[in-house]
């Protein structure tokens, strides 16, 4: 890979360019591929000093629940047997190969401080300088800021608290009972791992749908793809009727219940106890918050946001020239998933290219 295509942030930034893509994860790389094919002048900025940093910092034993067949981005299949399930450290390697193959202009170590309207375009401010851009694509993904409920502050200082974002392995967790708050895929996988060395109780709200890893010898996502469920637009009446929580993939709840306890949704805390919705009080030594994430739009100028504080777009395409890729259920159930974000990226990238040619 040439230094002109991938920089650690010390290289010169363009001062004026057609498009700035913010984020060099799966969404940003996929958009970059489309823009490169269309001949658009663009640069991809990322705050991290390496590609795939958000994957390297996930817990050590994480294995993807989508097979390699559904982990690739447009133009380059994920390597290896398509029916295998990659470990998380393979994803940054794939990102580096992808960026090199398509010679994507990426500037690492370049966080975006703010984006503001400037005439018919935008001013993108970074610590290294400002860039004038005709369009901006926010490809920062769906999982930005860890969400922890306010009642966590009522836990005693003696209780260790850790969000799943910062969890790496059981060695981080002191002895004693662990409460895992959240029963989606991350929470249950971490609970299963911790159960080998700790007493674990999982606090869950409404029960998640369950999906086997494989059905009749095929990966579950093969069936979801063939049935069109992952491509079903989120704004249709049928999609709204099917708007169930994301399924727990592969984890066998009945088997897990032999090694961990289950309790109701945690709604409050008092000292060294969590309080559930049904009034149960659970004494804990550690609370692991598998409670999800929230979006942070504080870096967008207020005039770029709607009255509800959220950015305005139509399934990612913004009339103002500010576009989005990789948001949760932005257009369909696959919008934030590694192997499915490419469809949205191609659609948004094509719209950006058309606007650029005007």
Give the pLDDT confidence of 18-35 residue by residue, as tens digits: 999 999 999 999 999 999
Question: Which of 61-65, 141-145, 262-266 is predicted with the least confidence, judged by mean pLDDT?
Answer: 141-145
User: Average pLDDT in the 126-148 region?
Assistant: 92
CA distance 21 to 13: 13
- Which residue matches tokens 């067949």? 69
Residues 263 and 353 in one domain: no
- What's the mean pLDDT when you consider all of the chain? 89
Question: Which of 111-120, 141-150, 208-217 is predicted with the least confidence, judged by mean pLDDT?
Answer: 208-217
Residues 155 and 47 in one domain: no
pLDDT of residue 31: 97
Q: For a pLDDT cut of 90, what percent of the chain falls above it?
A: 66
Residues 152 and 138 in one domain: no
Residues 285 and 155 in one domain: yes
Instruction: Give the domain extent around 280.
Output: 148-209+244-289
Residue 191, both tokens: 């609970």
pLDDT of 299 higher than 50: yes
Question: Which of 48-62, 161-175, 238-252 is predicted with the least confidence, judged by mean pLDDT?
Answer: 238-252
Residue 217 CB partners (closer than 8 Å, separation 6+): none
What CATH number has the domain bearing residue 111? 3.50.50.60
Residues 181 and 125 in one domain: no
Q: For a pLDDT cut of 70, what percent of the chain falls above it?
A: 91
With respect to residue 225, please indicate whether it lies within any of the assigned structural domains.
no
Residues 132 and 153 in one domain: no
Residues 259 and 340 in one domain: no
pLDDT of residue 1: 37
Residues 67 and 117 in one domain: yes
Collapsed DSSP state (helix, strand, coil) of residue 29 = helix
Q: Are 261 and 202 in contact (CB under 8 A)?
A: yes
Residues 57 and 179 in one domain: no
Residues 272 and 176 in one domain: yes
Residues 152 and 24 in one domain: no
The sheet that has 200-203: what strands, in order across it?
160-163, 286-289, 178-181, 200-203, 261-263
CA distance 65 to 269: 33
Q: Is 85 left (phi over 0), alpha (psi -120 to 50) or beta?
A: beta
Strand-pairing partners, residue 300, are 115
With respect to residue 125, please indicate whether it lies within any of the assigned structural domains.
yes
CA distance 161 to 164: 10
CA atoms within 13 A on the CB side of 173: 31
Q: Are 335 and 326 in contact (CB under 8 A)?
A: yes
């Amino acid at each position: 890979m040439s230094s002109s295509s991938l920089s650690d942030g010390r290289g010169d930034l363009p001062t004026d360019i057609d498009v700035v893509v913010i984020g060099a994860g799966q969404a940003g790389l996929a958009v970059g591929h489309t823009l490169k094919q269309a001949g658009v002048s663009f640069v991809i900025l990322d705050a991290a000093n390496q590609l795939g940093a958000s994957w390297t910092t996930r817990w050590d034993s994480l294995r993807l629940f989508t097979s390699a067949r559904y982990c690739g981005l447009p133009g380059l299949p994920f390597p290896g047997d398509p029916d295998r399930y990659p470990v998380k450290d393979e994803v940054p390697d794939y990102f580096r190969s992808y960026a090199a193959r398509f010679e994507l202009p990426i500037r690492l170590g370049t966080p975006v401080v703010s984006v503001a309207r400037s005439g018919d375009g935008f001013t993108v401010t970074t610590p290294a300088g400002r860039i004038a851009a005709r369009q901006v694509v926010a490809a920062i993904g769906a999982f930005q800021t860890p969400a922890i409920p306010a009642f966590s502050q009522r836990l005693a200082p003696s209780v260790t608290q850790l969000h799943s974002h910062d969890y790496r392995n059981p060695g981080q967790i002191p002895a004693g009972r662990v409460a895992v708050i959240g029963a989606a895929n991350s929470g249950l996988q971490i609970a299963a791992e911790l159960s080998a060395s700790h007493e674990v109780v999982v606090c869950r709200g409404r029960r998640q749908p369950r999906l086997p890893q494989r059905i009749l010898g095929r990966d579950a996502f093969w069936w979801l793809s063939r049935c069109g469920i992952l491509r079903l637009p989120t704004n249709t009446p049928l999609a709204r009727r099917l708007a169930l929580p994301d399924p727990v993939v592969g984890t066998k709840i009945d088997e897990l219940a032999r090694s961990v306890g289950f309790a109701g949704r945690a709604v409050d805390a008092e000292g060294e106890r969590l309080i559930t919705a049904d009034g149960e009080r659970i004494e804990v030594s550690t609370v692991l918050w598998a409670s999800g994430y929230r979006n942070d739009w504080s870096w967008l100028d207020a005039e770029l946001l709607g009255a509800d504080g959220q950015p305005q777009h139509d399934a990612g395409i913004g009339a103002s020239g500010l576009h989005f890729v990789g948001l949760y259920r932005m257009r369909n159930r696959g919008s934030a998933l590694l192997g499915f974000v490419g469809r949205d990226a191609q659609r948004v990238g094509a719209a950006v290219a058309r606007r650029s040619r005007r």
